[in-house]
């Protein structure tokens, strides 16, 4: 079970954008005129594209400097995450219900690991997921290969084989749906981000829900796959 974080479990959108802007300004010496699209994308891709939008070559060295500074900014502002963000309805209930099932819960997120950890800890959700077998926004620019990466990590730790029949991904964007289908997972999509149910259905998600409040529907979708 691979959870997306932003707009699936929690929402801290404004703070993330503020920190991106502050880091850009510190590093580049001017305010960014705009940020690259963030929804459903990896930190690596957002950073590189934001630099490109300002005519700056996103060398590996610069992307590293940017994301290191971004991680530090989240370290400093982590106490604001819970204050300014919110846990999404039903998220904790589903995490709790799945904790009683033979399911390994982790994350597949565009966040770099350090930031993912801060976000989950801020909302006291980190205890439900095994972050050591997750995949994160600095593991690659594109999302689909992250699925196999997370599966490989889970296989190494738990000694089981994970494939498209035994992996479910939950996310809020067409990028999540594509990642699951290209990477090897079935997808439950929730319309708690900027994409509506029609867009998520068009992307091909196996199950589309307005949010996570129907605990039973999500749990059944997950178990229906894992017990196949
Ligand atoms: Mg998301």
3-state secondary structure 129-192: CCHHHCECCCCCCCCHHHHHHHHHHHHHHHCCCCCCCCCEEEECCHHHHHHHHHHCCEEEEECC
Measured in angstroms, how far is the CA atom of residue 223 from the centroid of ligand 1? 22
Measured in angstroms, how far is the CA atom of residue 170 from the centroid of ligand 1? 9
pLDDT of residue 216: 94
| Crossing angle of the two packed helices 60-84 and 13-28, in degrees rounded to 10 | 140
Token pair for 74: 């989240």
Q: Which residues contact 125 (CB under 8 A, 6 or more apart)?
A: 9, 10, 87, 91, 92, 95
pLDDT of residue 228: 43
pLDDT of residue 227: 53
Nearest CA among 98, 131, 60, 43 for reference residue 220: 98
pLDDT tens for residues 57-68?
A: 999 999 999 999
Q: Which residues contact 144 (CB under 8 A, 6 or more apart)?
A: 178, 179, 182, 183
Q: Is residue 170 within 8 Å of residue 3, measured between CB atoms?
A: yes
Measured in angstroms, how far is the CA atom of residue 190 from the centroid of ligand 1? 9
pLDDT of residue 225: 61
Fold of 2-11+86-226: Rossmann fold (3.40.50)
Distance CA 51, CA 191 (A): 29
Measured in angstroms, how far is the CA atom of residue 107 from the centroid of ligand 1? 11
Measured in angstroms, how far is the CA atom of residue 42 from the centroid of ligand 1? 10
Measured in angstroms, how far is the CA atom of residue 109 from the centroid of ligand 1? 7
pTM: 0.94
Low-confidence ranges of the chain (pLDDT < 70): 225-228
pLDDT of residue 200: 97
Measured in angstroms, how far is the CA atom of residue 179 from the centroid of ligand 1? 12
Distance CA 57, CA 225 (A): 43
Token pair for 190: 């929730």
Measured in angstroms, how far is the CA atom of residue 59 from the centroid of ligand 1? 26
């Amino acid at each position: 079970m691979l959870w997306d974080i932003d707009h699936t479990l929690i929402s801290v959108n404004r703070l993330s954008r503020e920190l991106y802007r502050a880091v850009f300004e510190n590093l580049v010496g001017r305010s960014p005129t705009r940020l690259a699209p963030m929804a459903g994308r990896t930190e690596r891709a957002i950073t590189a594209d934001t630099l490109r939008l300002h005519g700056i070559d996103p060398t590996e060295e610069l992307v590293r400097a940017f994301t290191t500074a971004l991680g530090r900014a989240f370290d400093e502002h982590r106490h604001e995450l819970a204050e300014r963000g919110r846990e999404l309805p039903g998220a904790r209930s589903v995490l709790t219900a799945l904790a009683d099932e033979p399911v390994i819960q982790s994350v597949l997120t565009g966040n770099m690991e350090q930031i993912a950890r801060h976000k989950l800890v801020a909302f006291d959700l980190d205890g439900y997921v095994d972050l050591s077998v997750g995949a994160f926004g600095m593991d690659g620019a594109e999302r689909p290969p992250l699925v196999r990466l997370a599966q490989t990590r889970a296989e190494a730790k738990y000694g089981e084989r994970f494939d498209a029949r035994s992996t479910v991904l939950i996310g809020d964007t067409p990028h999540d749906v594509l990642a699951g289908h290209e990477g090897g997972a079935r997808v439950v999509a929730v319309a708690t981000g900027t994409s509506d149910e029609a867009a998520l259905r068009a992307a091909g998600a196996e199950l589309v829900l307005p949010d996570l409040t129907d605990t039973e529907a999500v749990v059944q979708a997950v178990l229906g796959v894992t017990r196949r």
